Amino acid sequence: MKIAVLGGDGFCGWPTALHLSDQGHDVHVIDNLSRRWIDAELGVQSLTPMDSIQERVRIWKKVTGRTITFHKIDLAKQYDRLRLWLSEETPDAIIHFAEQRAAPYSMKSDSHKVYTVDNNVSGTHNLLAAMAETGIDAHLVHLGTMGVYGYSSVGAPIPEGYLDVEIDTPSGKKGQEILYPTKPGSVYHMTKSLDQILFQFYAQNDGLRITDLHQGIVWGTHTEQTKRHEQLINRFDYDGDYGTVLNRFLIQAAIGYPLTVHGTGGQTRAFIHIQDTVRCIELALGDAPERGDRVRIFNQMTETRRVRDLAELVAKLSGAEIAYLPNPRKEAAENDLIVDNKQFLALGLEPTTLAEGLLEEVVEVAKRYEHRIDRKRIPAVSGWTKDLAARAEKDPEGNRIRSVS
């Protein structure tokens, strides 16, 4: 297949592009490279050294003989270029990762909220409008998030997209299938909720074939393909805005930094290893909906854990200390999370769970590149409100100069 990987220079996009190319597909990466300039804005860098996307695809060609083609297009701002590319290249499938992916970054300030909505929602809508206008019959696979549902405790499994309800009518109760209600906890999660509505419209109005993957928090570093050459290594974020919670704990443990748990640590999250992310994309591509079908929704996760339990697991393995800090997020202190993920299991996914060997792999990467870590960038200080931001702990190690008076 000819496959376009939108956002293919990113944390999930790059290993997915390699994985699909390795299977013999004709892979085209479309990216505006915004994640790289966000690093510059934040004054931080990937823990792992990243070459340019042009150098990355050159090395992939050298190692495997396979070609990945890069196209610099901004989905949110260059609609005409996107539409022209689709009409000329007519891909068989489109993998959509091209959205600002960090909840803390989306809550840093009003301008970050505006950017996240403009980039994510406009990019998704431009893509859908261009697909409808060009008439291409490509299968769109979108990377969404479990976070659209929030983290309240309802005591029942979150279904894969749809919920059967009964509605009172003058003639009695009638059944109806609805999208499972969303309760986004950040501007980023709100944009993913809006994506769902856009997908529903274009599937019913224009017959677009769409799969929406509601993914858990990604952890891990390597996939089978990124291990093949040092210059193919994936990016690895450790900072307070983009670093995911388990990866951050493992980084902190590797460098002797306190494991920063916010609030009680009673927040339950869904998790998935990066190797399973690329495998799920492959499985979704092989199970495409027919034209006229409803949007197909998968819960893309393999296990759930409480944050404090993760911290205790890492502390037990490493001897690291745990620091309980004020929570900069506006969320429940404790929640349960039960998730239905039967569809991927039925398609043959063999889940990668939190095995000790894989945790140690991340620690080894952290120790190898420890010299690239700026310890001042580790704390999570972006607050959901101004009051929460003011209470955020900016110095968990206690290195600030203290008054003696």
**Catalytic residue (one of 16, 116, 124, 145):** 145
Look up 386 and say whether it is catalytic: no
Place of tokens 């006229």: 292
192 is an active site residue: yes
What tokens does 214 get? 């509601």
Name the pairing type of β-strands 259-262 and 322-325: parallel
User: Which residue is catalytic, options 48, 124, 191, 192?
Assistant: 192
Inter-axis angle of helices 356-368 and 307-318, to 10 degrees? 70
Instruction: Give, as one character, the DSSP assignment of residue 267.
Output: -
Question: Encoding tokens for residue 43?
Answer: 């004054």
What is the DSSP code (8-state) at residue 255? T
| Catalytic (active site) residue 385 | no
Tokens of 137: 């019959």
3-state secondary structure of 390: helix
Q: How far is CA 371 from CA 49, 222, 377, 404, in A?
A: 11, 20, 14, 33
Enclosing H/E stretch for 165: strand 162-169
Q: Which of 79, 105, 115, 188 is catalytic?
A: 188
Give the single-character DSSP code of 294: P
**CA–CA distance, 363 with 367 (Å, rounded to integer):** 6
Q: Which residues are catalytic?
A: 145, 188, 192
